[in-house]
Amino acid sequence: MMKPISIKQTDNETITFAWDDGLSTPLKIQLLRDECPCAECKGETILMQQILPVLKPKLPGHYDVKAIVPVGSYAIQITWGDSHATGLYSWEYLRNLHFRK
């Protein structure tokens, strides 16, 4: 499994991940927030049926990164300016985001 060796906010709009295989993946902060993998943002699957998330208005600070914290050796957790912090961005999820954009 690939792991980042560096995670840096490279400008006001981008966080860049440098991976141990030499790949560098700049991801837009807006993309990271819009693709938050938490159940609140993506909905939950209950008994094989997708429950859609409740659409909430975007609060001030929605796209502001306040903190990035490692979670074990497999993910990061981002705290956003609107206090949202429940999404765990696994290394696999982050790499897939890069190739989907």
Q: What is the pLDDT of residues 3-45, one digit of tens each?
A: 999 999 999 999 999 999 999 999 999 999 999 999 888 766 5
pLDDT given at position 12 = 94
pLDDT given at position 56 = 66
**Could you count the other beta carbons within 10 Å of the beta carbon of residue 23?**
12
CA 31 to CA 74: how far, in whole Å? 20
pLDDT given at position 100 = 80
Q: What is the pLDDT of residues 58-73, one digit of tens each?
A: 888 999 999 999 999 9
Tokens describing residue 54 = 């409740």
Are 26 and 32 in contact by the 8 Å Cβ rule? The answer is no
pLDDT given at position 60 = 84
Letter string b/e over residues 32-63, b meaning 16 or more CB atoms within 10 A of that residue's CB:
bbebbbbeebeeeeeeeeeeeeeeeeeeeeeb
Are 24 and 10 in contact by the 8 Å Cβ rule? The answer is no
CA 14 to CA 89: how far, in whole Å? 16
Beta-bridge mates of residue 7: 17
Sketch out the chain's domains with CATH numbers.
4-100 (3.30.2020.30)
User: Does residue 97 surpass a pLDDT of 90?
Assistant: yes
Q: What is the pLDDT of residues 76-93, one digit of tens each?
A: 999 999 999 999 999 999
